[in-house]
Amino acid sequence: MINRQQLAEELKLRKQIRKAIQIVKERKKAAAHVALQEEDELRNIIRRLINEAEVGDEVPEHSTGINFLKELLTKILPKLEKAYKRLTTSKEQRESFRAHVVKKIQDMLAPEKVLDQAAADGEPDIEPEPLQEIDIEIEDDDVSGADPFIDVDTVGGEEPAEDTVEDFGIEGLDLTGRNAAFKIMKEVESIIVDTYNELGDEKDKTEFYDYLITNIKMHFDNFESELQPSGLPEPTTPEYEQEKEASDMPGEESAPEEETIEI
């Protein structure tokens, strides 16, 4: 028969064994967490370096269009990033912001691309017809009381109305993201169009446009990954877990009355 003292000592020994096993497990888990966290941090550093290399201007590229694009990105990306990362209530807001920005860039450069294509195709030369003399008899009307001033602002009808946020929107997408995109594109629209129009070579313009859209989308991917948590559990230590376990226990365990002990 096992007396109560032996039973208590056996219980204490088994408790220590379980604690030792738990410590080993926690140490392995903590080491794995640290390794995963370091890997994630390293990945973020590499991604940041790649981004900086993409928008840096230290080494000129083979294409003037890409050089102009780099300079443009250094000016507009900080604004887009700040506006994008303010939208933290839902991912739908950020997806709407992204879609509206990309569509707006495509829309505002579309007329420029059409004009470039027309200039590249060339217009047929049309010989003007020779002027013919036409005798026109003009009556001498009394215009002494007429106002000779012509208001040119009223000639040709009304000026086109400015874009509104409602016209800017894409049906079905989040309105907060739409509004944020509308505001930021008002700030960067002119610099994008002006930079594009500085280019005179058709190949440069094509590369500028294609890589502009690509880079904007890729940078939005990076902004999103930086907003999302890594998914790794919080690093811990065996000492913390032991203290936490002890604080959660209501009191010392009392020795069981039964002789049979299960682990």
pLDDT band at 130, cuts 50/70/90?
Answer: low
- Least-confidence region, from 67-81, 121-135, 223-237: 121-135
- What does pLDDT average to over the chain? 75
**Per-domain residue ranges for the chain?**
4-119+164-248
Over residues 10-34, the mean pLDDT reads 84
Q: What's residue 97's pLDDT? A: 95
DSSP 8-state code for residue 256:
P
More confident residue, 262 or 159: 159
Could you give the CA distance from residue 170 to residue 97 in angstroms, rounded to a whole number? 10
pLDDT band at 256, cuts 50/70/90?
Answer: very low
Q: Angle at which helices 4-55 and 202-227 pack, to 10 degrees?
A: 160
At residue 202, what is the residue type? E
pLDDT band at 142, cuts 50/70/90?
Answer: low
Q: What's residue 62's pLDDT? A: 80
Q: What's residue 52's pLDDT? A: 62
Over residues 206-226, the mean pLDDT reads 91
Over residues 214-235, the mean pLDDT reads 80
Could you give the CA distance from residue 25 to residue 38 in angstroms, rounded to a whole number? 20
More confident residue, 82 or 62: 82
Q: What's residue 36's pLDDT? A: 79
More confident residue, 76 or 41: 76
pLDDT band at 247, cuts 50/70/90?
Answer: low
Is residue 37 pLDDT above 60, yes or no?
yes
Question: Which residues touch 236 (CB under 8 Å, ≥6 apart)?
Answer: 26, 29, 30, 33
More confident residue, 92 or 129: 92
CA dihedral 178, 180, 181, 185 (to 10 degrees): 140
